[in-house]
């Protein structure tokens, strides 16, 4: 077995393009997931029984079906219902939808962790509802939610590899293509694994830094 | 929508479901055994062993399962190991499951007050007996909810073995979608079966938790 990772150097432009698309789908997917998850959490916390039940069903369904099946369902089944789009757009949107129930649960837990007394105190002081939300509930909730948010961000990075199966030309897709062209499977996939590992470690370290600075802010 | 063709293809779906359950179940058990070993490495007092455990957990949790499967699928033949694609899939899912279960188990072991071990040592119990009679049962009881959660994630992530050519539920629905030209219905079937399986697991998990709580009287 001869091992020659140098042969990947010939494909740097393709790899850079794939890497950029991995970052793009990951970041956009995570932003969509956080936005959607947050809205669902607010609706679930403030809404009535109907909203709560509807969101619970949405969460259970999205979390109960593998991401790859959801992708196939929407990307290949969607055109029958009039849902058509570029693989990148559909893939990113689906990544956001897939992540949303997990973020919803995290934010809901965050909302519940804020003591009712704080909100009552805010009301007693005559603060407006938006002020109570922005100045009392949100900051405390975000501190509680931050570690889980970092974890979920990492989960979504790893799930973004699955987009390669619906032909989104991200890093995994490009490396698979190069590996079958050059037959250098071991080199290609080993380096691919190392790249993802490094990305995950970097995200984790950044998350720990953020947690530390938030804790400092809270103690002031 | 027309689901009638699905009934003529039920045999393929059944085989797919069988393989999904088979790979998930075997990987769960193998992952648990391997995970317990990795967890013991991580908790040992030997510095080098701790580092090996830490490396294992970091690598196998950091690299996306899809990349891991591709790596194992193409690497094993290169280093002279020839196993079927289903064997490679079981190896891939198990080693990743082990990393997650090791972390879960570590949490369980660390939650046990150290005074219990000291008391047992005072009473003259051997280290093996302390582990088997005091530490392991309590740790298992504590981590059962997390392990069930992990089993659900494992069942869902097993859908990725379809990419390396195992005829699991996802692959079966892909085949049906291709032959019937009805992707919407085919993937909906897979989604419903996955949803059913994950719901079943979470119901089983909840009743298991109740029984454990009754049997052990674990104070919350």
Interface contact B184, partner A, CB < 8 A: yes
Q: Give the distance from residue A121's alpha carbon to the nearest chain B alpha carbon, in angstroms.
A: 30
Number of other CB atoms surrounding residue B160 within 10 Å: 27
Could you read off the pLDDT of A58-81 as tens digits, one per residue?
999 999 999 999 999 999 988 888
Q: Give the distance from residue B114's alpha carbon to the nearest chain A alpha carbon, in angstroms.
A: 27
Could you read off the pLDDT of B119-147 as tens digits, one per residue?
988 888 888 888 888 888 888 888 888 88
Cα angle: A139, vertex A140, A146; to 5 degrees: 85
The answer to whether B67 contacts A69, with C-beta atoms less than 8 Å apart, is: no
* Chain A residue numbers touching B177 (CB-CB < 8 A): 72, 76-77
Contact indicator for B62, B128 with CB cutoff of 8 Å: no
What does CATH list as the number for A5-218? 1.10.3720.10
- From residue B113, alpha-carbon distances to A95, B36, B106, B119, B157 in Å are 41, 19, 13, 11, 34
Rounded to two decimals, the ipTM of the complex is 0.86
Domain ranges of chain A: 5-218
Contact indicator for A171, A18 with CB cutoff of 8 Å: yes
pTM (2 d.p.): 0.87
Among all residues of chain B, which has the CA nearest to that of A184? B74
The answer to whether A161 contacts B170, with C-beta atoms less than 8 Å apart, is: no
The answer to whether B75 contacts A158, with C-beta atoms less than 8 Å apart, is: no
Q: Give the distance from residue B134's alpha carbon to the nearest chain A alpha carbon, in angstroms.
A: 31
Q: Which of residues 92-151 of B touch A (CB under 8 A)?
A: none
The answer to whether A196 contacts B79, with C-beta atoms less than 8 Å apart, is: no
Class of domain B4-219: mainly alpha
Lowest mean pLDDT among A101-105, A109-113, B88-92: A109-113
pLDDT reading at A9 higher than 80: no
Cα angle: A75, vertex A191, A183; to 5 degrees: 75
The answer to whether B191 contacts A1, with C-beta atoms less than 8 Å apart, is: no
Our measurement of the distance from residue B38's CA atom to the centroid of its chain's CA atoms, rounded to an integer in Å, reads 14
Among all residues of chain A, which has the CA nearest to that of B195? A64
SS (H, E, C) B129-144: HHHHHHHHHHHHHHHH
* Chain A residue numbers touching B200 (CB-CB < 8 A): none
Number of A/B CB contacts below 8 angstroms equals: 119
Mean pLDDT calculated for residue range B91-114: 90
- Cα(A153)–Cα(A141) distance, integer angstroms: 17
Mean pLDDT calculated for residue range B30-34: 94
* Chain B residue numbers touching A187 (CB-CB < 8 A): none
Query: Which segment, A206-220, B26-40, B169-183, is predicted with the most confidence on average?
Result: B26-40
**B219 exposed, middle or buried (CB, 10 Å; 0-12, 13-18, 19+)?**
exposed
Bigger pLDDT: B208 vs A8 = B208
Mean pLDDT calculated for residue range B73-96: 86
């Amino acid at each position: 077995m001869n091992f020659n990772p140098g042969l990947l150097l010939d494909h740097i432009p393709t790899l850079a393009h794939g890497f950029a698309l991995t970052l793009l789908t990951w970041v956009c997917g995570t932003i969509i997931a956080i936005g959607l998850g947050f809205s669902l959490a607010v609706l679930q916390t403030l809404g009535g029984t109907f909203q709560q039940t509807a969101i619970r069903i949405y969460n259970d369904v999205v979390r109960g079906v593998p991401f790859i099946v959801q992708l196939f369902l929407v990307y290949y089944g969607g055109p029958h219902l009039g849902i058509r789009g570029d693989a990148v757009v559909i893939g990113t949107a689906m990544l956001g939808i897939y992540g949303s129930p997990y973020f919803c649960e995290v934010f809901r837990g965050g909302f519940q962790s804020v003591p009712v007394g704080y909100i009552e105190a805010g009301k007693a002081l005559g603060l407006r509802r938006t002020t109570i939300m922005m100045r009392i509930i949100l900051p405390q909730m975000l501190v509680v939610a931050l570690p889980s948010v970092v974890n979920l961000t990492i989960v979504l990075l790893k799930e973004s590899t699955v987009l390669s199966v619906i032909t989104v030309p991200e890093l995994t897709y490009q490396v698979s293509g190069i590996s079958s062209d050059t037959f250098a499977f071991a080199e290609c996939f080993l380096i691919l694994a190392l790249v993802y590992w490094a990305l995950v470690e970097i995200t984790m370290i950044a998350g720990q830094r953020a947690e530390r600075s938030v804790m400092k802010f809270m103690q002031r | 929508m027309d689901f009638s063709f699905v009934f003529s293809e039920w045999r393929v779906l059944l085989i797919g479901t069988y393989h999904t359950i088979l790979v998930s179940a075997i990987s769960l058990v193998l992952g648990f055994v391997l995970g317990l070993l990795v967890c013991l490495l991580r908790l040992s007092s030997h510095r080098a062993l701790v580092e090996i455990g830490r490396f294992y957990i970091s690598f196998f949790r950091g690299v996306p399962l899809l990349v891991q499967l591709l790596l194992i699928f193409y690497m094993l033949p290169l280093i002279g190991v020839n196993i079927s694609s289903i064997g490679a899939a079981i190896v891939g899912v198990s080693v990743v499951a082990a990393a997650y279960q090791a972390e879960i188990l570590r949490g369980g072991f660390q939650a046990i007050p150290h005074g219990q071990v000291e008391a047992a040592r005072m009473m003259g119990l051997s280290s093996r007996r302390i582990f088997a009679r005091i530490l392991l049962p309590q740790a298992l009881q504590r981590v059962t909810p997390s392990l069930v959660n992990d089993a659900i994630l494992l069942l869902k992530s097993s859908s990725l073995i379809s990419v390396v050519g195992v005829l699991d539920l996802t692959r079966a629905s892909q085949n049906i979608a291709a032959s019937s030209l009805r992707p919407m219905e085919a993937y909906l079937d897979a989604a419903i079966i996955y949803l059913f399986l994950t719901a079943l697991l979470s119901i089983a998990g909840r009743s298991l938790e109740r029984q454990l709580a009754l049997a052990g009287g674990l104070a919350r």
